[in-house]
Chain A
């Protein structure tokens, strides 16, 4: 669980990846980059969101690299459908061409676990896949904070999160989660053990009634608990 993102921790566990993009050149490129890693196995490709559910059922990927703009079923709809209908859905890592893509926030609301720019360096691409596969961190472009501001950041710190009130420590952890920090990073920031952080995160999710970190972050932004400034 070291923050470095090296494949060492999994002890040989391979992350199965499905690539969804309407452009073949993008699929081929992502496949070459991800497939070159010993701990990542690209198990399939799809050119349209409509192909995703059957492929997911058949191939059982751990992570879906999902393009947003596709003819037919776009990445947002596909993500929403996937996470709503699968019993054990894969993590969705949305890949976008533009950092300021107005649909990034939609993807977050749909339940995507992270974001990746297609122009990211190969090391960032594989790191993102690993981090999302571990299910512990969100990868944000800076733009998401501005978008979140437009949606729900007006409330400042007069937060009214749903559910029972968070302890001061839990609130701190939620802010760091919303900032895209991993458990290990939060542990380092707060001088806590990683297991303690995991416990705090679990408590936060339970109190908010959130399915996962993504939902918790959406709530944090929309309630105004977290603002772009802090």
Chain B
């Protein structure tokens, strides 16, 4: 029992944790050194001739300001986090990319200051205790030095080598306990001062949730589409076997259908699993490839799609259903001009669904904000990329589009609002000048609207500016597509399907 207590009592002195934490504290002391030297120099100068003092004071203020800067730097905080993780055994997340908040910086600076001060104390204690213990022990062993000559320590003098050795060792032991205590305190404090702020934690959780929601949506769609394909092949195979003798021609067609369905399902599996294996959008590793705006778009879109408690009962529409969508919009009174390729079969199903959603959201917005104005919807498929572009003139002033308030009421501003979305195909070429997000919606440097629809060049309804961009883009498209019908759409006329 007593033995256990002794073991527990000396545990901090023999534990590797204590020594690692001691190293961490000493690092603070090492960083403190230049500050100390600077302090000594200024103290000397200020104690010197009076005429030098005012200049020195000015210099001191400047030096103090410069010396304070490292404490507030992001990099310093990142280093402190790395050091705390490695030496204090504290589990801390990486600092999030982007600018830190003032609160985070102040907490980081506070930690830095505390680290330096405690580090300085520990280093000072070590510099005091270690030589003393060595000298006393040396005296006891007869290795006399001059160091302890004339020493008076309470009742002890230089002759009491045995007792002085005990005092030296006691100093070392006390230092060990102090380091263990301060190290434990540092480990306790590190999450408070170096951990993410509440806002950062919420943002990280939200990003994580959005990423998960996006993945869930992809997984659910995969389950639906591949499950459907497997059902079709099973049913077709069953039917073929049933009528093999009586209707071999049916069996032949069924086999062809099975082959095609299987191939399509495999392609879809390949594609979506590729997306699911890609690092999530908020992953720091992916941050370089997908700037924050684009990620937000994908996340917001995912959140919007997943927000409803129940998945849609109808199968997820793809670009193949575009004609039906446009017909619905026309039935609702929107003059839609559709320009689309003759076939969208080559577009991967997941991308095709995304493209349909963009077109749907765009038409919905047009119906809401540009009533009575013609809408041009262009869908273009090129090697590895899908572009969806929706252009409509700015609606009447009465409309409630975001930017309308910026314009004087009653003044009809000629111009167009362009809603444009591209979808990047993994492994393929992204649309030039547009940001791509794995599995998500490409954002051409614009404002991201939940639902994955984007407005380049600013808020919807900023009229002229966005319209200019839209017009320029349209011209290019006309050249590329070679469709005179596309250009004619701009003047608001009959809707035509090009090609």
Contacts and interface: CB of A to CB of B under 8 A. Distances in A.
Q: Which of A31, A71, A74, A103 has the most CB of B within 10 A?
A: A71
Contacts of A121: 238
A191 interface: no
Given A30-B235, A71-B321, A98-B227, A36 B242 contact: yes
Contact of B314 (A28, A33, A70, A122): A70
Q: Which of B232, B235, B247 has the most CB of A within 10 A?
A: B235
Given A71-B324, A98-B227, A29 B254 contact: yes
A26 B241 CA distance: 15
A201 B310 CA distance: 36
A25 B261 contact: yes
A23 B228 contact: yes
A69 interface: yes
Contact of A25 (B235, B247, B311): B235
A74 B234 CA distance: 23
A136 interface: no
A102 interface: yes
Interface string B322-354: 001000000000000000000000000000000
Query: Chain A's interface: helix, strand, loop or mixed, by majority?
Result: loop
Contacts of A98: 227
Query: Chain B's interface: helix, strand, loop or mixed, by majority?
Result: helix
B349 to A, nearest CB: 14
A69 B231 contact: no
A94 interface: no
Interface in B230-255: 230-232, 234-236, 238-243, 246-247, 250, 254
A118 interface: yes
B232 A25 contact: yes
B242 A25 contact: no
A41 B336 CA distance: 44
Contacts of B254: 28-29, 32
Contact of B232 (A29, A68, A102): A29
A62 to B, nearest CB: 21
| A: interface residue count bin | 20 to 34
B99 interface: no
Interface string A98-137: 1000110000000000000011011000000000000000
| B: interface residue count bin | 20 to 34
A56 interface: no
Nearest to B312: A69
B257 interface: yes
A97 B317 contact: no
A222 to B, nearest CB: 20
Q: Which of B239, B240, B315 has the most CB of A within 10 A?
A: B239
A122 B227 contact: no
Nearest to B246: A36
Contact of B238 (A25, A29, A31): A29
Contacts of B317: 71
A29 B321 CA distance: 23
A76 interface: yes
Nearest to B251: A32
Nearest to B233: A25
A52 B134 CA distance: 99
B313 interface: yes
B210 to A, nearest CB: 24
Given A36-B246, A70-B314, A97-B227, A29 B324 contact: no
19 contacts: A22-B315, A25-B257, A26-B232, A32-B240, A32-B254, A68-B313, A69-B315, A70-B315, A71-B315, A71-B321, A71-B324, A74-B313, A97-B224, A97-B231, A98-B227, A103-B313, A118-B231, A119-B235, A121-B238
Given A26-B231, A32-B254, 19 more contacts: A23-B228, A25-B232, A28-B236, A28-B239, A28-B254, A29-B232, A29-B236, A32-B240, A32-B243, A36-B243, A70-B315, A72-B314, A74-B313, A74-B314, A103-B313, A118-B235, A119-B231, A122-B238, A122-B242
Give 8 nearest A-B pairs by CB, closest first: A32-B239, A29-B235, A29-B239, A118-B231, A119-B234, A71-B314, A25-B232, A74-B313
